[in-house]
């Protein structure tokens, strides 16, 4: 998702190293080797570990946003790295706030401030080592698409179909490019229910309901095209249903430790305990919600690699029972 603020971020760098190290130390069993060589993350502000902050010279997002994240703490991929006993390499974090699925960024301000989209992130991953080949032992995560819908709303268009079809084509096309360059292991997270965000609900029930419906349509098409890609390329694509997760959080907040799933924790000043909230600001989840996403992704990975008879890659971890929700 993007922030509804005027400025947002670019290429990758900036990770809370000490936090990730402590997460890894807490989560990884002694003697367990990491299941993947690296964790390469592409997408938008939901996975951005500081790139937009760097692109704006440290200006945005400002405190009380946490160390350049669009959140009040670490984001989901940082928690996932800890659960996998890994550290995020800042050079392999390509997610950027505002990125759309194509070559545009919702937060660009032409002509002076131009930021990349998902397509440029894919190009950056492939070009990173100078050989036009990527590491087949790395895990590639993709969570992108929300900004396409925010841009569509801002355009005033009455036809969302091109946004859905082109957004899915861009996303699957990027994964196919990574696959052609050697990538074999993917996590793809679908669109969360944007209609449940405080920004959407604040626009009234029609806009909120429309966004929910459009996100569901997008996710259906995304799943269909990933099925085909997975079959054609013999890939391991672990899919996480963020749409179902956010709806379960809204329906069963106590399961996740939330007392407020409709408002936002940051309103001028943050709430006394932001992690009582599902949402940090109008469109971004709190770090508590990010941690729940990471738990589900980890459990989905463990289940998938047990299914293909690589159970030793993942130690059984205590989860809060969210994984069944997001199963493919």
pLDDT tens digits, one per residue of 230-246: 989 888 899 999 999 99
Which CATH superfamily includes the segment(s) 17-326?
SGNH hydrolase (3.40.50.1110)
Quick check: 75 and 69 in contact, CB under 8 A? Answer: yes
Residue spans per domain, the chain: 17-326
**What is the model's pLDDT at position 33?**
66
Which conformational region is residue 68 in: left (phi greater than 0), alpha (psi within -120 to 50 degrees), or beta? left
- Stronger pLDDT, 117 or 5, i.e. the higher one: 117
> 112 pLDDT exceeds 60?
yes
Each residue's pLDDT tens digit, 51-60: 999 999 999 9
> 208 pLDDT exceeds 60?
yes
How far apart are the C-alpha atoms of 328 and 322, rounded to whole Å? 13
In this prediction, residues 111-125 reach a mean pLDDT of 94
Tell me the whole-structure pTM to 2 decimals: 0.86
Residues in CB range of 27: below 8 A, 6 or more apart:
82, 83, 84, 85, 317
C-alpha separations of 296 from 83, 168, 183, 325 in Å: 11, 23, 22, 9
Percentage of residues in the chain having pLDDT higher than 90: 77
Chain mean pLDDT for the chain:
86
**What is the model's pLDDT at position 247?**
98
Q: Report the SS3 class of residue 250.
A: helix
- Stronger pLDDT, 15 or 33, i.e. the higher one: 33
Least confident window among 18-27, 57-66, 123-132, 176-185: 18-27
> 18 pLDDT exceeds 90?
no
């Amino acid at each position: 998702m993007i922030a509804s603020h005027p400025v947002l971020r670019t290429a990758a760098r900036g990770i809370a190293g000490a936090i990730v190290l402590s997460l890894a130390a807490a989560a990884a069993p002694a003697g367990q080797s990491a299941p993947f060589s690296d964790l390469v993350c592409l997408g938008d502000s939901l996975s951005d570990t500081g790139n937009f902050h760097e692109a704006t010279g440290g200006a945005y997002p400002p405190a009380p946003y946490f160390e350049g994240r669009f959140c009040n703490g670490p984001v989901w991929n940082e928690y996932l790295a800890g659960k996998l006993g890994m550290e995020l390499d800042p050079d392999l974090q390509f997610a950027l706030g505002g990125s759309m699925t194509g070559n545009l960024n919702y937060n660009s301000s032409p002509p002076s401030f131009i930021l990349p989209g998902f397509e440029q992130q894919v190009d950056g991953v492939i070009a990173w080592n100078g050989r036009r080949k990527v590491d087949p032992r790395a895990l590639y995560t993709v969570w992108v698409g929300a900004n396409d819908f925010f841009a569509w709303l801002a355009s005033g268009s009455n036809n969302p179909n091109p946004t859905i079809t082109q957004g899915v084509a861009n996303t699957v096309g990027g994964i196919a490019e990574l696959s052609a360059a050697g990538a074999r292991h993917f996590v793809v997270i679908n669109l969360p229910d944007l209609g449940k965000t405080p920004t959407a609900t604040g626009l009234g029930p029609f806009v909120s309901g429309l966004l929910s419906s459009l996100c569901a349509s997008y996710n259906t098409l995304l799943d269909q095209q990933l099925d085909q890609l997975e079959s054609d390329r013999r890939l391991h694509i672990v899919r996480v249903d963020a749409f179902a997760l956010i709806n379960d959080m809204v329906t069963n907040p106590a399961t996740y430790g939330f007392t407020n799933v409709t408002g936002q924790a940051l309103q001028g000043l943050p709430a006394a305990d932001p992690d009582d909230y599902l949402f940090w600001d109008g469109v971004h989840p709190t770090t508590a919600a990010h941690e729940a996403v990471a738990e589900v992704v980890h459990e989905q990975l463990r289940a998938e690699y047990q299914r293909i008879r690589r159970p030793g890659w993942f130690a059984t971890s205590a989860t809060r029972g969210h994984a069944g929700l997001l199963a493919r």
